[in-house]
A and B are shown apart, each in its own frame.
Chain A
């Protein structure tokens, strides 16, 4: 499961420490916090102003921010607003630190999403508890977001992720004039598999097929499209190479052995479409074209790979959807 696993590893490294960004205008606070966090095996990054804090939050991607709210070039509120507005930094937990009595309500601090507050002077136990809590919250949030985009049975990306990712890849391809291919595929006779061998066996077939689709290049994005239908986005790949990949997958699922059902042989049909850079009609049109090609593969006897003709299949795809 190349892409899903790679992203998980990137988000939840097995080794290495969490990174904390400390924002304060006073050198002695930086020294103090560094010493107090010494036993936590954390990497501490420092910033002294709002501008620097925003820049470092973007570039260093900290797992947690300790933010003094009284900074020389403005209020920490500006930093929070800016970070919460950008997708890349939105979910970084923030612990506000201030020597003031309380955060004034008029500034609307409490409307700015999840965050914690620590008053100076703080004792070490309090600091450590908040920092550990903030890091845990961040990890849980990232895990939840990733899990919400994975298919529970197969571990591939789910449909929601597919839609978002295809849009992003399509934009990339059009912007840079790069090829982009999409493979839609469907296990043949899946209903009969379930009826004849039972749903647990059907699930096994789905899982095995998912593994085949995920065995490709690291850049391929294998997704469960729905039911027994799967989709693989192949960035920077032309139709010729996408056809070859689909053919490999077709042969691979056909070669699978099923020890509990030796007589069984799985097969799948594949529809391949590629982005026509001269007439980029949008990601939905690419899906429609691949879907039409898959329909053709089914109609022509299954267990085969068909390539969409950019214009005619697109029209057929649209016809199928409207008719």
Chain B
């Protein structure tokens, strides 16, 4: 089960596979990519580009669980489902913000390791 705990007002989601030697390297790569991905989600939202937003959320929905971040995957699924059901901007915006927070939470998990991570 993933451990979630509040650290500096950010809820941390650690990968279920953080201690799996086979997975460790690619989980690190995945986590390192999350700030960039969160940034892309934000800019797609600002640009009102729902197709791109959906694609980004869909990719995260598919991959996050596989990397041991089920909460992140669920947040991404939520965004995709809202876009597919043609929900209003406000609801989608809220869901994207929650997804971005989830990206933060997963990325912040790396702070528990040795490397500092920069997140704007």
| Contact of B66 with A by CB under 8 A | yes
| Contact of A43 with B by CB under 8 A | no
Interface size class of A (residues with CB under 8 A): 10 to 19
Q: Is the interface of A mostly helix, strand, loop or mixed?
A: mixed
**Interface Cβ pair total, 8 Å cutoff:** 52
Q: Report the minimal beta-carbon distance from A49 to chain B, rounded to whole angstroms.
A: 13
Interface contact A35-B62, CB-CB below 8 Å: no
Binding site for B on A (CB under 8 A): 24-26, 28-29, 31-32, 35, 38, 68, 70, 72, 97-99, 120-122
Interface contact B73-A121, CB-CB below 8 Å: yes
Say whether, besides A25-B59, A28-B30, A28-B33, A120 and B22 are in contact (CB < 8 Å).
no
Interface contact B33-A120, CB-CB below 8 Å: no
| Contact of B107 with A by CB under 8 A | no
Choose among B23, B26, B55, B66 the residue that contacts A120 (Cβ–Cβ < 8 A).
B66
Interface residues of B in 64-114 (CB under 8 A from A): 64-67, 70, 73, 77, 80
Interface contact B22-A68, CB-CB below 8 Å: no
| Contact of B118 with A by CB under 8 A | no
Interface residues of B in 13-64 (CB under 8 A from A): 22-23, 26, 29-30, 33, 55, 58-59, 61-64
Say whether, besides A72-B55, A99-B77, A121-B73, A26 and B62 are in contact (CB < 8 Å).
yes
Interface contact B65-A121, CB-CB below 8 Å: yes
**Bound state CA distance, A224 and B80, in angstroms?**
60
Sorted nearest first, the 4 A-B pairs with minimum C-beta distance are A121-B65, A99-B62, A120-B62, A26-B59
Residue in A26, A28, A38, A122 with the greatest tally of chain B CB atoms within 10 Å: A28
**Chain A residue contacts of B63, Cβ below 8 A:** 26, 28-29, 32, 120-121
Choose among B66, B70, B77 the residue that contacts A29 (Cβ–Cβ < 8 A).
B66
Choose among A28, A32, A99 the residue that contacts B58 (Cβ–Cβ < 8 A).
A99
**Bound state CA distance, A98 and B23, in angstroms?**
22
Closest to A127 in B: B66
Interface contact A31-B58, CB-CB below 8 Å: no
Residue in A24, A29, A32 with the greatest tally of chain B CB atoms within 10 Å: A32
